[in-house]
Amino acid sequence: MLKLAPEGYPFIIFFSVLTIISFFLSSGIWIALLPFILTLFMLYFFRDPERIIPEGENIFVSPADGKVILIKNVYEEQYLKSNAIMVSIFMSPLNVHVNRSPCDGIVESVIHTKGKFLSAFKHEASLQNENIIMLLNTRYGKVLVRQVAGFVARRAVCRVKIGDALKKGERYGIIKFSSRLDVYLPKDVNIKVKLGDKVKAGETIIAII
C-alpha cells in the first residue's frame, strides 16, 4: 500500500474534490482532466516509501532525496561556532520530499527563520531563503540540518521539538515542492559522496567518522 506523508492529505483531498465537482458540473471529462492529473501528481509527490537504514554507529546517511550540489569546508558561526563540512542536496519536484535524520541524536534546537524564496540552486539561498534549522546533539558533536525553501517550495515542516530523540534515518519533516537541504557534519568525517551524486534519504551513506 502506498504510504503518504500526512502533510499531503489537504492537497490530495482538495484536488480530488475539485475533480469530482468538475466532472459532474461539466459536459465532459476534459474539464475534470486537469484537476485529476494534479491529484495524481499530489499522490506521487507526497509518497513516503520505507527505506532500508544502513547499520553502524559511525555513519551518516543522507537526510534528503536528491542531487548533491555542494560539498564545502566551512566555519558555521551562528549555531555550531566551529568548522564543519557542509553538504547540500537539491530536491526536484520528482524526488521524495520527506526528510530523515542523518544520525542518532537529541534535538537541541528548532529555529524557523523567515526569508526570501530564491532558487534553491543558488548558494546564497541557504542563508537568505526561508528555512528551518534543526540542531542535533550527537555522540560526535553537534550536527546541523537546514531545510531551505526554494522558488517553488514555500513551506518546510519540522515535526520534532526540543528534547526529542531521533534515530538515524528516522523521518522528521518535509519540504513541500522543489527545495534544498543543507547538513553540517563534524569536520573530521570522511565524505562518501561527490558533486552530482543522486542520494536517497535514510539509505545513502554520505559520510563516515
> Among all residues, which ones are annotated catalytic?
179
Q: Write out the three cell numbers for 80.
A: 555550531
Q: What is the maximum span of the chain, computed from C-alpha positions, in angstroms? A: 65
* DSSP bridge pairs for 112: 132
Beta carbons within 8 Å of 73's beta carbon, 6+ residues apart: 83, 84, 85, 86, 187
* Residue type present at position 171: R
- Residue 174 burial by CB count (10 A; 0-12/13-18/19+): exposed, middle or buried? buried
Neighbours of 202 (CB within 10 A): 26
| Residue entry with cell 560526535 | 140
